[in-house]
């Protein structure tokens, strides 16, 4: 029996230690310039991120939530419109649709990849449907070409929720470069995370990018001249400077996560259901999610062995109290509900060591997870 080892769910200290000096210098640069609101570092990072994703524009905003809301508004989604999204997502996707005044309509997932099922998406479309928000959940791109085909047939706006998929590729192209626009979050634990809140919208559409620049800053075109009603949701200049330091490391961090996933799956396969990476899709494992019938027992046993885990997400959106007015009930989305009862996210971050992976895998085996 090996000694107990604490394995955290994520370890941001391990990520920051090797780049601490660069981060300090970047922060000091902003402090010395004093351009704290929409300063030079924001424009610089927007250019770098657009080039990374492969879009003409990137517009930095306050959060991933705001990125979804503002993208929907920039593409003309209005109160009363219906917007279809996956039943299995983080609540922000749905609350951002509600914030626009639109009605979220949910569609069940493909149980293999946890992404919206394109056939169920098609079945959810009504004459009032205006947009679709596919979610690249856990770091695996959705079948975006199938989603785009359905959307184009019905003349729908597509806003990708890429909050968990920075750098993931579908047939060689980055998630976030397929839809009319895409929303990213820089919540600290994301694959590309800030030291606080942050978000960005990528798009090829010149008019939407200009509109987003107004919307995020009180509709202001020239100081104290306001063209449209907007909000205050600007990517913080200090965060942009930090993100510019981190972005060149992202592909390397994602490659490390992919290696860790292979190592986990080799050790765990047969004992629990391991993640399915669909053909043509490069999963960047924002989360490494296993499935087992005895999920709660397994989580408790891992806790006693000091392995931190998470459940993403224990209560599906349609069964959340906050979404009662949408009128859904238990049984409406069987694949989502089955996954919610079985999923467990294991520790996953680029700096995970072989010893930690071995320890976690052995602990899952010892817990009798099958």
Ligand X SMILES: Cc1ncc(COP(=O)(O)O)c(C=O)c1O
The residue within the footprint of ligand X, chosen from 69, 81, 82, 161 (CB under 6 A), is 161
By CB under 6 A, tell whether 135 contacts ligand X: yes
Among the listed residues 15, 140, 185, 361, the single contact to ligand X using CB under 6 A: 185
Q: Is 181 in the site for ligand X (CB under 6 A)?
A: no
Q: Which stretch binds ligand X (CB under 6 A): 60-68, 111-119, 144-152, 348-356?
A: 60-68
Crossing angle of the two packed helices 40-53 and 237-246, in degrees rounded to 10:
40
Here the tokens at position 139 are 């770091």
Spatial separation of the C-alpha atoms in residues 138 and 73, rounded to whole Å = 26
| Residue 178 interacts with ligand X (CB under 6 A): yes or no | no
Which helix (H) or strand (E) is 318 found in, with range? none
Report if residue 69 touches ligand X, rule: CB under 6 A: no
Nearest to 48 by CA among 193, 202, 275, 164: 202
Q: Which is nearer to ligand X, 197 or 351 (CB)?
A: 197
Per-position x/- string for 256-295, each x denoting binding to ligand X as judged by CB under 6 A, each - no binding = ----------------------------------------
Helices (H) and strands (E) in the chain, counts: 13, 14
Exactly one of 64, 167, 230, 310 binds ligand X (CB under 6 A); which one? 64
Q: Does 163 bind ligand X (CB under 6 A)?
A: yes
Tell me which of 45, 52, 65, 138 binds ligand X, using CB under 6 A. Answer: 65
What's the closest the beta carbon of residue 90 comes to ligand X, in angstroms?
A: 4
Closest contact distance (angstroms) between CB of 187 and ligand X is: 4
Determine if 165 is a binding residue for ligand X (CB under 6 A).
no
Total interface residues for ligand X by CB under 6 A: 15
Residue 141, interface with ligand X (CB under 6 A)?
no
Strand partners, 269: 272
Task: Name which of residues 14 to 43 contact ligand X (CB under 6 A).
Answer: none
Structure tokens, 69: 């809301």
Applying CB under 6 A, the span of 34-42, 89-97, 247-255, 327-335 interacting with ligand X comes to 89-97
Determine the interface stretch with ligand X among 90-98, 224-232, 244-252, 297-305 (rule: CB under 6 A).
Answer: 90-98
Among residues 49, 75, 138, 187, which is the contact residue for ligand X, using CB under 6 A? 187
Whether a cis peptide bond, with omega within 30° of 0, leads into 341 is no
Task: Answer yes or no whether residue 299 interacts with ligand X by CB under 6 A.
Answer: no
Helix runs in the chain, H state only = 12-16, 20-33, 40-53, 64-74, 91-100, 118-123, 144-153, 206-215, 237-246, 250-268, 295-304, 334-342, 354-366
Distance (Å, rounded) from C-alpha 328 to C-alpha 316? 11
Return all residues near 359 (Cβ < 8 A) that are at least 6 apart.
2, 5, 7, 307
In angstroms, the CA 342 to CA 273 distance is: 10
Q: Are 131 and 161 in contact (CB under 8 A)?
A: no
Q: Is 92 in the site for ligand X (CB under 6 A)?
A: yes
The window from 29-37, 62-70, 113-121, 228-236 that contacts ligand X (CB under 6 A) reads 62-70
Instruction: State the minimum distance, in angstroms, from the CB of residue 271 to ligand X.
Output: 28
Residues contacting 110, CB < 8 A, separation 6+: 116, 117, 143, 335
> Which residue's Cβ lies closest to ligand X?
64
Q: How far is the CB of 67 from ligand X (least distance, A)?
A: 7
Binding site for ligand X (CB under 6 A): 63-65, 89-90, 92-93, 135, 161, 163-164, 185, 187, 197, 199
């Amino acid at each position: 029996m090996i000694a107990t080892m604490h394995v955290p769910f994520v370890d941001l200290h391990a990520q920051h230690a090797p780049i601490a000096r660069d981060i300090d210098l970047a922060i000091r640069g902003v402090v010395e310039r004093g351009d704290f609101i929409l300063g030079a570092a924001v424009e610089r990072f927007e250019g770098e991120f657009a080039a990374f994703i492969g879009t003409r524009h990137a517009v930095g905003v306050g959060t991933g939530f705001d990125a979804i809301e503002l993208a929907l508004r920039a593409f003309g989604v209005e109160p009363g419109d219906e917007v279809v999204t996956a039943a299995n997502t983080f609540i922000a996707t749905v609350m951002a649709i509600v914030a626009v005044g639109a009605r979220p309509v949910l569609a069940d997932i493909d149980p293999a990849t946890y992404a919206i099922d394109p056939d169920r998406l098609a079945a959810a479309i009504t004459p009032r449907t205006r947009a679709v928000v596919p979610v690249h959940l856990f770091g695996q791109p959705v079948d975006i070409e199938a989603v785009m085909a359905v959307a184009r047939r019905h003349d729908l706006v597509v806003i990708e929720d890429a909050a968990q998929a920075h750098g993931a590729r579908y047939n060689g192209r980055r998630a976030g470069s397929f839809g009319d626009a895409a929303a990213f979050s820089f919540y600290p634990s994301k694959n590309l995370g800030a030291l606080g809140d942050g978000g960005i919208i990528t798009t090829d559409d010149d008019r939407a990018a200009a509109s987003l620049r107004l919307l995020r800053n009180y509709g202001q075109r020239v100081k104290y001249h306001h063209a449209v009603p907007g909000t205050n949701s600007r990517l913080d200049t200090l965060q942009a400077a930090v993100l510019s330091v981190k972005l060149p490391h992202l592909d390397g961090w994602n490659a490390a996560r992919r290696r860790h996933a292979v190592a986990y799956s080799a050790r765990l396969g047969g004992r629990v259901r391991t993640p399915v990476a669909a053909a043509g899709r490069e999963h960047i494992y924002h989360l490494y999610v296993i499935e087992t019938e005895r999920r709660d027992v397994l989580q408790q046993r891992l806790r006693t062995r000091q392995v931190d885990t998470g459940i993403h997400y224990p209560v599906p959106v349609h069964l959340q109290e906050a979404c009662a007015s949408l009128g859904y009930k238990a049984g409406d989305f069987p694949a989502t509900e089955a996954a919610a009862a079985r999923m467990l996210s294991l520790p996953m971050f680029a700096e995970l060591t072989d010893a930690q992976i071995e320890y976690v895998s052995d602990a899952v085996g010892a817990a009798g997870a099958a």
